[in-house]
Structure 1
């Protein structure tokens, strides 16, 4: 996974843009040819790791092979293996393949100096998504003077999985389980070693992600092997209070990854003595059913890549001390009720009657309680908690709340649902399939401006926009993105978040 920087420096030379339409760049693995459109050069489908197939299924990523000649980089690589998209615009076009560890780069075609880099980690519950969706096209952000990178990484049981047969087959010191996170780290190593060839500054890298991608950002902040590979972080709806499964240790109500792997193998009809070779020969599509649950199956502590949960690491100050933006949407999981089956609906099961009654009153009755409790348990309170913990380290910390709702698509909840901020950040409002008005474009211009200024200077504030307060300077203050524009204010609904904080402190001191 690692390449000496001296060797990388020899290879990182930018070819003269002799062809204004089909520019070339030289990477460590070889020369690539991209495409210029409206002032932005795009290089797509670049391999950052070897295909994780055959013996490399359920193995740490390895460096990709080099090539001679010029590799065409005009088109995206395949999606990683995943279930049907179900309408999520963050998935991208087919085909799918296990040979999917590629990334995409957008960079201004004309640039005078190395530019800050923004590396996007897509969401999708660690089951779906890709860096190839039109929603995540980096062209608009690149026109603001940054280099944008989007990545694919292994998903579902190909990315987050273990089984006793695999454990018996690997070296005792080999990292296991969190293959998708290992892929993310390998992609960041590729950026370190190659991004200068595309006009990017490897010493100025911001990672940003949403939902599972936001969780990934916090995991990378606490992963020892990711330290130094990025210099700023943005967490969009990235939870924070989740409790991960151990690789091999079963805990009450939390089976290990190995136990989950055994259970899946039995359900798939595999023999009790199945070998590692036989597991690696199982058709990839067979691994999709039943789909693993993100909150209970795909979050792992493996002891090497991830050694503890995010909240414990932040509480101890062991996270990367980098400038951080984090926040949530105003009505994240409004459709999930506390009584629903599934991991999210069970989050409040340990509440006492007194805690439940206090929250019921704080929400103004059953309707508000049922509509907002899960969102606050999973997103709003954890974001405030991580912001407090991170600000305590002295690192610049900025909290936000997104409450922009398109006039053409009013939400039944009256607020901004989960993932609805993504096209605003990327300025890709045209990809969401409905007409959006002037206020949406103003909100998108503001968000993209804050995000790219943060990537440039570790501070989202810039001329012509409302000031975004630092969390440490104004405790519990945030920037709220509203239909009327950004507004600095105190964290909304602090009373009910305080009750949730007390609940978490009781059940998991």
Structure 2
């Protein structure tokens, strides 16, 4: 049963889209939910999947996590376009309602659309591949890509049921940030997801997959730690003997609690763990991984928005606490690490897809709000422009329209009364582009109509020399600063700039910092 929510919307909380993945369904593809009779009423959002809490390292959540939430305007209009939000968090933390700005009431009201946010299994419960768990009954059960299959199951549920909420199953956009964006990109290549979505938005994604051999090696090492931690093996040799019996090992793994499993992994300051995900198993995801995009042999040829933030890396450097944010090492790693991010996860993908016959337009963006300008000034208060700038995830409340960073790793200090006029103007423009893209596959068709001034034309990515590559989202004082950029980044060009601009000592230090995993251990500030 739905209930009234903010901004004149209705919300349905904790709607099950699959059976709880517990007991015999742990490490299995999701199963359709059991039907129920009568009215199902949920006043609270579902708890998150099992994970480490950021900063504290405490374990929270539950295996019974496969629920979604639906927002829509408080009206009886039907065939509304559907926006599906896939949260980030390294595929090991987060949830559909992890932070307040993930909630869909504002965008549902402003865009007259249906907003769906989705939970999925995380960490070793979401992506885990070991021979002992493969029983040969189903390729999907044996794939190891359980979190990916959860998202696909949610999309199937949306296809079959969203009309009951006034949504149009023929106009579905999937959007995600960080690991959520990585998941969206992977779904372009996934045969089982074909036809379940019609547009895609990739915000600050990562182009990364894991081979079956790598996944099995990581799982094996985790199981060895698990056996030792639970006193079933005195040393690695005895643990290896237990590994030789698939039946005993399978029973042991299914009997372990989720918390026991997770404790085999050490969290970083954001709660993320270094667990493989997106396994190129050849069933759920193609064995060749993203090479399918290079060949043009992928089913998800849909209009695409893809982008990154100007200073993605700063929040990871800041949370790590080393080097000091005042140091040249910090600023060099932030600049070149963020440029590498854009080169690999935006420009290379846009360049590759734009060359594929039959691929609809690809629209790229660079989010710059928060970064210091040429005068060294930032809309962020105090020294936060230098410390964090336009950091990873900051664009989310602008696209979704929720005026808060409450619940995020950096708290609520970013949005102030002084910077409100500019960010409200920018957020309004970004939402108009987004809603137009959702409705038509073109961010320009409806963004020039309705309330607000005429917005700049957002040209799709072009591989022609000197042609527009992306649009900049920023502010200049109280006004939005939106304009096309023709600069294209490559890893080779960034490497050349590092060599030219950094001293040998600073170059070596910067490379070492950028080689650290983003999930690395907490360091003292």
- TM-score, normalised relative to structure 1: 0.79
- Contact kept? 1:327, 1:399, Cα under 8 Å: yes
Give the equivalent residue in structure 1 for 2:430: 447
Q: 1:151-171: CA deviations, max 9, x gaps? A: 000000000112232125755
Give the equivalent residue in structure 2 for 1:105: 70
Instruction: Give the distance between the partners of 2:366 and 2:32, measured in 1 at CA.
Output: 39
Cα deviation, residue 476, structure 1: 4.5
Give the equivalent residue in structure 2 for 1:314: 293
Residues 1:497 and 1:137: Cα distance change in structure 2 (over 3 Å):
farther
Give the equivalent residue in structure 2 for 1:305: 284
Give the equivalent residue in structure 1 for 2:253: 279
Q: 1:85-106: CA deviations, max 9, x gaps? A: 3399xxxxx9721101000000
Residue 204 (structure 1) aligned with residue 171 (structure 2): yes
Equivalent of 2:354 in 374, 382, 391: 391
- Count how many residue pairs are aligned between Structure 1 and Structure 2: 434
- Contact kept? 1:479, 1:486, Cα under 8 Å: no
Q: 1:373-392 maps to which residues of 2 (within 5 A)?
A: 373-392=336-355
- Contact kept? 1:52, 1:58, Cα under 8 Å: yes
Give the equivalent residue in structure 2 for 1:232: 199
Q: 1:60-459 maps to which residues of 2 (within 5 A)?
A: 60-86=29-55, 96-133=61-98, 134-143=100-109, 144-168=111-135, 171=138, 174-240=141-207, 242=208, 244-247=209-212, 249=213, 256-268=214-226, 269=228, 271=239, 272-273=242-243, 274-289=248-263, 290-291=265-266, 297-308=276-287, 311-319=290-298, 320-334=300-314, 369-393=332-356, 394-405=359-370, 406-408=379-381, 410-412=384-386, 415-432=389-406, 433-434=412-413, 435-436=415-416, 437-459=420-442
Instruction: Give the distance between the partners of 1:450 and 1:141, measured in 2 at CA.
Output: 12
- Contact kept? 1:162, 1:177, Cα under 8 Å: yes
Instruction: Give the distance between the partners of 1:158 and 1:63, measured in 2 at CA.
Output: 18
Q: 1:349-401: CA deviations, max 9, x gaps? A: xxxxxxxxxxxxxxxx9776533233233343431111112222341110000
- Contact kept? 1:331, 1:413, Cα under 8 Å: no
Equivalent of 1:479 in 457, 471, 474: 471
Q: Which runs of 5+ in 2 are unaligned?
A: 233-238, 321-327, 371-378, 407-411, 449-453, 499-525
Instruction: State the SS of the aligned residue for 2:51.
Output: coil
Cα deviation, residue 501, structure 1: 11
Cα deviation, residue 427, structure 1: 1.2
Instruction: Give the distance between the partners of 1:453 and 1:206, measured in 2 at CA.
Output: 12
- TM-score, normalised relative to structure 2: 0.76
- Contact kept? 1:329, 1:403, Cα under 8 Å: yes
Deviates more, 1:485-494 or 1:60-69: 485-494
- Contact kept? 1:33, 1:71, Cα under 8 Å: no
Instruction: Give the distance between the partners of 2:33 and 2:330, measured in 1 at CA.
Output: 53
Cα deviation, residue 175, structure 1: 3.9
Q: 1:162-217: CA deviations, max 9, x gaps? A: 22321257556744211000000000000000000111000000000000000000
Residues 1:403 and 1:74: Cα distance change in structure 2 (over 3 Å):
same
Cα deviation, residue 441, structure 1: 1.4
- Contact kept? 1:381, 1:501, Cα under 8 Å: no
Residues 1:60 and 1:172: Cα distance change in structure 2 (over 3 Å):
closer
Instruction: Give the distance between the partners of 2:135 and 2:142, measured in 1 at CA.
Output: 13
Residues 1:193 and 1:146: Cα distance change in structure 2 (over 3 Å):
same
Cα deviation, residue 267, structure 1: 1.0
Deviates more, 1:476-485 or 1:221-230: 476-485
Q: Which runs of 5+ in 1 are unaligned?
A: 1-31, 89-93, 250-255, 341-364, 504-509
Residues 1:334 and 1:497: Cα distance change in structure 2 (over 3 Å):
farther
Q: 1:201-236: CA deviations, max 9, x gaps? A: 000000000000000000111100001000000000
Instruction: State the SS of the aligned residue for 2:14.
Output: strand
Residues 1:197 and 1:238: Cα distance change in structure 2 (over 3 Å):
same
Instruction: Give the distance between the partners of 1:275 and 1:381, measured in 2 at CA.
Output: 39
Residues 1:86 and 1:443: Cα distance change in structure 2 (over 3 Å):
farther
